[in-house]
Amino acid sequence: MMLQNWKALAASAVVLGLAGFGAQAQAQTQVNFTVAEYSSKTGPYFQEVATAFEKENPDIKINIQVVPWDTLLQRLTTDIAGGTAPDISIIGTRWLLDFAAQGVAEPVDAMLTPDFKGTFIDTFMAPSVIDGKIMGLPVAASARAMMVNMDLFEQAGATPPTNWDEFYAAAQKLKALPDVIPFGLQGKEIETDAYYYYSLWTHGGDILKADGTSGLDSPEALEAATSYKKMIDEGLTQPSPTNYNREDVFNLFKQGKVGMIFTFPMLIPQIKAEAPNMKYKILPFPEGKAKATYGVTDTLMVFSTSKVKDAAWKFIEFAYKDEWRSKFDHGEGFLPVTKGVAAEPYFTEDPDVAGFAAGLPYAKFAPTIANWEEIADTTVRTLQQIYLGEVEPEAGLKAAAAEINKIRGL
């Protein structure tokens, strides 16, 4: 190792010497790229892309900063306030509107050639369009689905449900098994609201009504909440859902103690590694009045303050080549956002991935509206009060809707 370093050092010294001796050295443009850490593979992957890019474009240096999701928004906030914002960054699409409204995000329409634009699946492009301008590119996508433990279903003699009535009936049958939780219900921390939206959407409701006011005071929203509450009261979920965050619920499922959960594709590699013998199945969410799944995208955003937008864009075009996108989606367990990768047999034939991808045509996205985090928090607080029995579902949802409308200034 030492020897190799030595050689590399010597070689670069020689190259530097030659460069200095011959034509004048090319000035390097540095592009700062903040990457959200999806898994331990994320950093090395982007480093690999950057190295390959730098080989083709020796005048551009890509400086990659890997930041965990939990602190990403705080980190970007501090960087922007301090005037040291990166040139490009991966962000949660739900933040994009705030970035755009504050003039932090740069519209990419001018740089996006029709050819390049054509490589994206339109569904995933839609959330990045704000006031008719494309404010970023989809970089990662996932959809949600129901996962059932087939071992438990066979023991209980139950059939995997397709609608909410069957869902309830299956839960009743699973309850007969000792030490088994029929339905894993998430009740705290990140995405507690999403766990409820699955039910809200499939019951025919929506987060916002057509007029932009909160949809939580609709009859569908009430039905969605009472169906969860009923299952809690009848012992068809964990005894106190408010003590379980997403990972807690998934961990119980991995231990084979839970019959049905609502989850994301990233759980599959975890199950394969930690519970390789489990027989599971990916199914669409139970249907009520509508079919739905939750589509989640992340966005690659260009900062308006960047002085090296051309170089940054060159790198972006490079990173969206099929070979790189394919490696990224496989490695992280995401659904493809580009048509080229989506056509790969893996994404159409693998039962797990196909199970999640099947919902994409009717996927719903979190609305791109200002103050989304605060609205989500209001929803979570109300759900927790309902789950704990501190408030009647109807009164709680009405109050939450009024509060959300106030936050939205309606």
Nearer to other proteins, 188 or 209 (CB): 188
Q: C-beta of 240: minimal distance to other proteins in Å? A: 3
* The residue type at 339: K
Please report which helix (H) or strand (E) contains residue 262, including its range. strand 258-263
Sign of the alpha-carbon dihedral angle for 156, 157, 163, 168: negative
Binding mask 179-208 for other proteins (x = CB under 8 A): --------xxx-------------------
| Cα dihedral: 219, 225, 228, 232 (round 10) | -120
155 CB contacts (<8 Å, ≥6 apart)? 177
Query: Which of 134, 380 has the CB closer to other proteins?
Result: 380
* CA-closest candidate to residue 261, choices 186, 363, 333: 186
Q: Indicate whether 379 belongs to the interface with other proteins (CB under 8 A).
A: no
Is 257 among the residues that bind other proteins (CB under 8 A)?
yes
Q: Does 251 bind other proteins (CB under 8 A)?
A: yes
Nearer to other proteins, 233 or 374 (CB): 374
CB atoms within 10 A of CB 39: 12
Rounded Cα–Cα distance for residues 405 and 410 (Å): 5
Shortest separation between residue 271's beta carbon and other proteins, angstroms: 17
DSSP 282-341: EEPPPBSSS--EEEEEEEEEEBTT-S-HHHHHHHHHHHTSHHHHHHHHHHHTPBPSBHHH
CB 254, min distance to other proteins, A:
11
Least separation, in Å, of the C-beta of 395 and other proteins?
14
Q: Are strands 88-92 and 293-302 parallel, antiparallel or unpaired?
A: antiparallel
68 contacts 170 by C-beta, under 8 angstroms? no
Q: How far, rounded to the nearest angstrom, does the alpha carbon of residue 164 sit from its chain's CA centroid?
A: 25
| Shortest distance (Å) from residue 344 CB to other proteins | 37
Structure tokens at 296: 């989640």
Nearer Cβ to other proteins (39/77): 77
- Using CB under 8 A as the binding rule, whether residue 234 contacts other proteins is answered as no
- 2 or 81, CB closer to other proteins? 81
371 lies in the site for other proteins, by CB under 8 A: yes
| Binds other proteins (CB under 8 A): choice among 57, 163, 227, 242 | 242
The interface with other proteins within residues 62-121 (CB under 8 A) comprises 73-74, 76-78, 80-81, 98-99, 101-102, 104
By CB under 8 A, name the one of 202, 238, 297, 299 that touches other proteins: 238
Interaction between residue 240 and other proteins (CB under 8 A): yes
Structure tokens at 403: 């509060």
Number of shown-chain residues binding other proteins (CB under 8 A): 38
Does 233 bind other proteins (CB under 8 A)? Our answer is no
d(CA 37, CA 330): 15
Binding interface with other proteins (CB under 8 A): 73-74, 76-78, 80-81, 98-99, 101-102, 104, 187-189, 238-244, 248, 251-252, 257, 371, 373-374, 377, 380-382, 384-385, 387-388, 390
